[in-house]
Structure 1
Amino acid sequence: MRLFPAETYKKRREQLLSQLNGGVYLIMGNNESPMNCKDNTYRFRQDSNFLYFFGLNIPNVAATLDASTGNVTLYGNDFSVVDVIWMGQQATMKELGAQVGVENTKPFSALATDLKNDVNYLPPYRHDRVIFLADILKKSTTEISSEFSVPLIEAVVKLRSVKDDLEIAEMTEAVNISRELHINAMQIVASGKKEYEIVAEIYATAKRSNCYLAYPAICTVNGQTLHNHYHGNTLQESDLFLNDSGAENDMCYSGDITRTIPVSKRFSNQQKDIYNLVLKMEEDCIADLKPGLLNRDSHLAANRIMLNGLKEQGLVKGDVDTMVELGVGGLFMPHGLGHMIGLDVHDMEDLGEKYVGYREGLERSTQLGLKSLRLAKELEEGFVITVEPGIYFIPELIKKWRAEKMFTDFINYEKLENYYDFGGIRIEDDVLITAEGSQVLGKRIPKTTEEIEGLHC
């Protein structure tokens, strides 16, 4: 188990406690989750907040922090001889605590005795943790799910949002491994192959680097379906193949990359026109990123670029600023421009987008596309975010809007009929916000039409 230096975790905990006004705060780790029987479990993945403050990627542990005294206690059980028979020799809780700068350790059973009704905790997102807390705190599951500590959430978000140099190095590694996933996939895409053959290469590439995927791979010829996890289609010569996949390295930091390539190895004129427009959206938005910029404004800028380009291609008409204001772009990009990334691919989403991506006075939109923007607030130095514009032609949505006569003054519905079998294009990179602008993490991943077509020369 690879860890940061113990002082890193101690400093994070001290920073957390300095933002809290008294009280005891609980950080829960995750349990193993049975797949079809108790001993046959899904792959264990530790809670990201526990990883951030305690680093231990093992099940059945928890910790408390006392903001009044500064005391930190790690709860977990030492392994028995019977456990060792099946698992081999394991470190004791004292030894594990020392590795992350915690002196005081107790058996996990002591947690139920030590916790009081006024303990502060983060929103539990796993049912077993809701039930556990309800049992030991003598509350209903409804109360447990709603009585989490907002000050604790806000303190954690403030710390985890800004990545330090150690984290940036881990994320750069995750992106570089993600790069290999994508290049290897690009090189084997061919007519007649099944999507799952490409997915198999992606998983194999990750494992060769001692990684897992940060999220289920989205690898599809149906790019117009935003989160398509079906991999049974056969690739056809005229298809575009969208690959949204990223590695999670052995420190649990994520990469999140998307590329879209032609199965035929060459873009058609229609595909190239839309692709280059998406590329302009991505590159122009990245170039404008800097501390203080509202990410919502970046999303709207991407829409403005998109609608200008679609107007030039005859798919929309009228005043572009008016179309942006009305939300016409939601027909073509019904998702947000990007999100935080770190220990989670959608970083800290378990804590609530209200606290992670928004702030007081900045309300979520109701417009299609903009309402799905996970990160709308001002950017800060040290944020790592995704920039992932796309253009999609979703026949069902186009037909619905047309039947409802939505934005008929702006949308050329007749011409859109020629795009019903187009699919979708998305291009995505992971970007660090720097003091004076931004920096795309990792080595360059082919994304111009020339670079992509050049892979097959």
Structure 2
Amino acid sequence: MIRLLIRVESLRSNQSFQIQRRSFSFLSHFFERRCHVKNTEITSKMTEAMGNYTITKNAPPVSMETFRINRERLYEKMKSVEPQGFILLKGGEAVNVYNTDVEYTFKQEPFFHWAFGVRHPSYWGAICLKTNTSYLFMPRLPESYAIWMGELLTPEDVKTLYSVNQVYYEDEISTVLTKCNPKKIFLLSGTNTDSDIKMDAPQFENSKKYPTDLTVLYPTMSELRVLKNEHEIELLRQASMVSSEAHKYVMRNLPSMVGHFEYQAESIFLHYCYYTGGCRTTAYTCICGSGPNAAVLHYGHAGAPNDKIINDGEMCLFDMGASYYGYASDITCSFPVNGKFTEEQKVIYNAVLNARNKAVEESRPGVQWEKVHLHALRAMFTEMKAHNLLVGDVEEMLDAELGSIFMPHGLGHLMGIDVHDVGGYLDDTPPRPTRASLKNLRMNRFLLKNMVLTIEPGCYFIDVLLEKAKNDEKMAKFINFNVVNKFKRFGGVRIEDDVLITDYGCELLSKVPRTVEEIEAWMNQEEEVKLHFPLPNQRGKKHATPILSPEVIKGQ
């Protein structure tokens, strides 16, 4: 088998699914290239479109204006630091699977993607602050690569595709720097506050010839990434819309999947997002927990790869989100496998739904995030108390840090190119809380218009935490263990939405059934929503259809 390093794909689906369309003043044509390949037909269309992409006919196009606006915002911030400076960013590299010649699916470095929107590996980007000129530096590939990849891109092609001022080869960075003669070069170096992983500054030819600054760029770009421009909001809206429809697709088909593995439900989601929505990758590892696995917060990892059998009567917690042109979605749906809630399932679900509704109500500009988190806990505990799982005063429960037992994670997080986006904790933002029920908040900022974040309250029955509470007299007095013990194999419920902070409140970007009544109605509609491929036990039957139209969600 000859391994092709480059694939040129055109995702041309004639089918459609219901989405909210947005008005755009531009047309575009899509192509995907792993590296630097010129396809005559596609490139000519791209030239006409002046740097815009259409990933699928079912979605709004992607404009390179998205990234030009971001570069302009960065320029305005940085020119006051050093007007004779030069910003130099390094894009991501293709990564091989250990020492094989097989590569992982490429994902662009997020800061570089934010500034340039480049899909290719091994690029550099720059902004000259003296002239406000944008540059891309592409790898100089051997001519022999054209045998395997087709005609290679030229600098002029790249300039058109990505709407930058100048394009050179990577080995010409030093030449451009000599012409610009900057007083200082700003390089990206900093530590992600979610992972605690440090990004080291990139090395380039003659780097020691110029003064460099490693302190300013990372916090500046992190802060800029917190507030999304109008085009970024449309990309995030589309990612959430595709993921919402995929979640609904899974929910409708799940009753027929009793006895199948959780990963088969995951595969339906992945298929829908890519086949119908043009989303090649997800924003994170899918979490498909059923029964007790719903209490494992980051289930789906390599040691527990969504591999339990789905049983009738259980609850499912499916946390899955597609990535659309590098922008994330993050949605969690919790629902009964058979489409009908038991009374016990209703109690826990409605407690979390009340928390979600209260959090949505309280999310608006000027409100600090920890306050929203506490409002959500208060609403959830009130409902749990009403059904005798908890006893006593709700405010005292909050003071006793009972939230760390039933919801041991933060209410939500910033979202953008990264699913857990940067900017949660910077030098000039409120610090991470130290209270047990708040310390896992991924940010504690005051909300601002054009932030995009998740709201994801949950209630879980985690043995190790319940045992901890039982042995802590400050907590134990609030828990009715005679009732709570009945839920030990229940798992948990999480309801997660993607929201945009607006002038006076927030807009829900995710659109899925949320109330008990909505979920039961959706999962039990008489009209069958067929899979695009048969389940394993359907193979060979007359009604099993390998490929069906993606026009599968009806009656919305």
**TM-score computed with the length of structure 1 as normaliser:** 0.88
Q: What is the alpha-carbon distance in structure 1 between the residues aligned to residue 448 and residue 413 of structure 2? A: 13
Aligned-pair CA distance for 1:311: 1.6
Identity across the alignment (%): 30
On the 8 A contact 1:94/1:103 being kept in 2, the answer is: no
Change (3 A) 1:417 1:5: closer
1:322 and 2:396 aligned? yes
- One-letter amino acid matched to 1:205: Y
Change (3 A) 1:129 1:272: closer
Aligned-pair CA distance for 1:309: 1.5
> What CA deviation, in whole Å up to 9, does each residue of 1:239-289 have, x standing for no partner?
11111001111x212211110111132111111011011111111211222
1:133 and 2:133 aligned? no
1:123 and 2:194 aligned? no
1:213 and 2:282 aligned? yes
- One-letter amino acid matched to 1:399: E
1:10 and 2:68 aligned? yes
1:45 and 2:110 aligned? no
Aligned equivalent of 2:139, options 77, 96, 100: 77
- One-letter amino acid matched to 2:203: L
Aligned equivalent of 1:32, options 89, 94, 98: 94
Partner of 1:224: 295
Residues matched between the structures, number: 441
Aligned-pair CA distance for 1:155: 2.3
Partner of 1:264: 338
Larger Rg: 2
On the 8 A contact 2:87/2:187 being kept in 1, the answer is: yes
Partner of 1:161: 226
> What CA deviation, in whole Å up to 9, does each residue of 1:9-46 have, x standing for no partner?
33322221221211332222100111144531100010
Partner of 2:375: 301
1:279 and 2:279 aligned? no
Change (3 A) 1:413 1:406: farther
The runs of 5 or more residues in structure 1 that have no matched partner are: 139-143
Partner of 1:341: 415
Change (3 A) 1:194 1:177: same
Q: What is the alpha-carbon distance in structure 1 between the residues aligned to residue 331 and residue 488 of structure 2? A: 26
Counting only pairs closer than 5 Å after superposition, residues 47-446 of structure 1 correspond to structure 2 as 47-111=109-173, 119-123=186-190, 130=200, 133=203, 148-149=214-215, 151-189=216-254, 190-208=257-275, 209-211=277-279, 212-221=281-290, 222-229=293-300, 230-249=305-324, 251-348=325-422, 353-355=424-426, 359-360=428-429, 362-442=430-510, 444-446=511-513
Q: Structure 1 stretch 396-405 or stretch 40-49: which is displaced more?
A: 396-405
Aligned-pair CA distance for 1:132: 5.3
Partner of 2:548: none
RMSD, aligned CA:
2.7
Q: What is the alpha-carbon distance in structure 1 between the residues aligned to residue 478 and residue 205 of structure 2? A: 57
Aligned-pair CA distance for 1:326: 3.0
Change (3 A) 1:90 1:325: farther
Aligned-pair CA distance for 1:312: 1.6
Q: Structure 1 stretch 63-72 or stretch 313-322: which is displaced more?
A: 63-72
> What CA deviation, in whole Å up to 9, does each residue of 1:288-322 have, x standing for no partner?
22111111110010011111122222222222112
Aligned-pair CA distance for 1:104: 3.0
On the 8 A contact 2:88/2:185 being kept in 1, the answer is: no
Aligned equivalent of 2:77, options 9, 19, 25: 19
On the 8 A contact 2:66/2:232 being kept in 1, the answer is: no
Partner of 2:19: none
